[in-house]
Amino acid sequence: MTTATIFDIQKYSLHNGPGIRTTIFFKGCPLSCWWCHNPESQAAQKELMYYEDRCLFCGSCVESCPEEALTVTDKGLKVDESVCTLCAGCIRECPAGALEIAGREATLKEVIAETTADRLFYEQSGGGITFSGGEPLKQFAFVKELAEYYQNNGIHTVLDTCGLIEEQKVLEIAPLIDLFFYDIKFIDSRKHQRFTGQSNEQILNNLSKIAAKNYNITVRIPVIPGINDREAEMKKIGEFLVELGIDSVHLLGYHRSGIHKYSRLDKQYRLPDISSPGEDRILGLEKILKEMNLNTKIRS
């Protein structure tokens, strides 16, 4: 049976497409954006998360680990990922709930049952299902099967994608998607490489291909102070969208809500000193795009 690795199914989601939605968050992403607020989405495999603020430093987890993968230090719990098998013994033994596994295997039948339970809400609000992540298309076969089911049953679908996937796969799934949320961070490939770990030629190419076929697309631009919030950068993105005939744009202001997750995964956050863009700044960028006749909205 087809399975996928997901890290959350968020019900009553109001910010991931029209109406009341259920958002399925898939693990695995080809990018490692410096500002990512879901670092648990980047790795394709399940991961152990440690909540230091809950830890009693009692050592129960260390004693329970058959692989001796855990060590308590003065800086908290350290996990040797090279030997950890994610057996969950430490989670069961922890009296404070300081450990959990990010990610779970789910079958197609399980996801369909969980997501269609709220179908009445979708119908009444014009909502539906949103595929998010991570990058949903990293688990292409599973997402395609889901999208086929929802389309055949009259449930609206949104695909939230970074666009870094084979062109053939994007074109294959496009007829099953009612609305694309397509992320664009930069036009300059060198900047994209620096701040996401990958170049963006394939991303821009894929966007041009689906735009040429007149699929419903909203481009979403994360606004990161000091990185891509300059007027010149926004004009380049706007000019590219005008050229493609895409007129729907969402500006997403950077926020710091995911920073705490990095320490839980023993990862370094690379933008510790920046704050959300000021209102004047993001309104100025919105004005630039609106002057190019782009239907631009500021989203949280």
Q: Go through the chain and tell me how many residues it has.
A: 300
Amino acid identity, position 278: G
Q: Are 102 and 46 in contact (CB under 8 A)?
A: yes
Integer Cα distance of 213 and 194 in angstroms: 31
Beta-carbon-side half-sphere exposure of residue 223 (alpha carbons within 13 Å): 25
pLDDT at 75: 77
pLDDT at 84: 94
Q: Please provide the CATH number assigned to the domain covering 47-102.
A: 3.30.70.20
pLDDT at 135: 98
Write the DSSP assignment of 87-108 as a string of letters: --HHHHH-TT--EEEE-EEEEH
Q: Are 274 and 225 in contact (CB under 8 A)?
A: yes
The four Cα atoms 28, 33, 37, 43 give a dihedral, to 10 degrees, of 20
pLDDT at 73: 85
Query: Helix 231-244 to helix 201-212 angle, to the nearest 10 degrees?
Result: 40
pLDDT at 144: 98
Q: What is the mean pLDDT of each run of 10 residues along the chain (300 residues)?
A: 90 93 98 96 95 92 94 86 93 95 96 96 96 97 98 98 98 98 97 98 98 98 96 97 98 93 93 93 97 94
Peptide bond into 134 cis (omega under 30): yes
Instruction: Tell me the β-bridge partners of 161.
Output: 182
Q: How many CB atoms lie within 10 A of CB 65?
A: 20
Amino acid identity, position 141: A
* Fold classified for 3-38+106-258+270-299: TIM Barrel (3.20.20)
pLDDT at 243: 98
Integer Cα distance of 146 and 155 in angstroms: 11
Integer Cα distance of 170 and 218 in angstroms: 15
The residues near 229 (Cβ < 8 Å, ≥ 6 apart) are 223, 277, 281, 282, 285
User: Is 3-38+106-258+270-299's fold the same as 47-102's?
Assistant: no
pLDDT at 271: 95
In the chain, where are the structural domains located? 3-38+106-258+270-299, 47-102
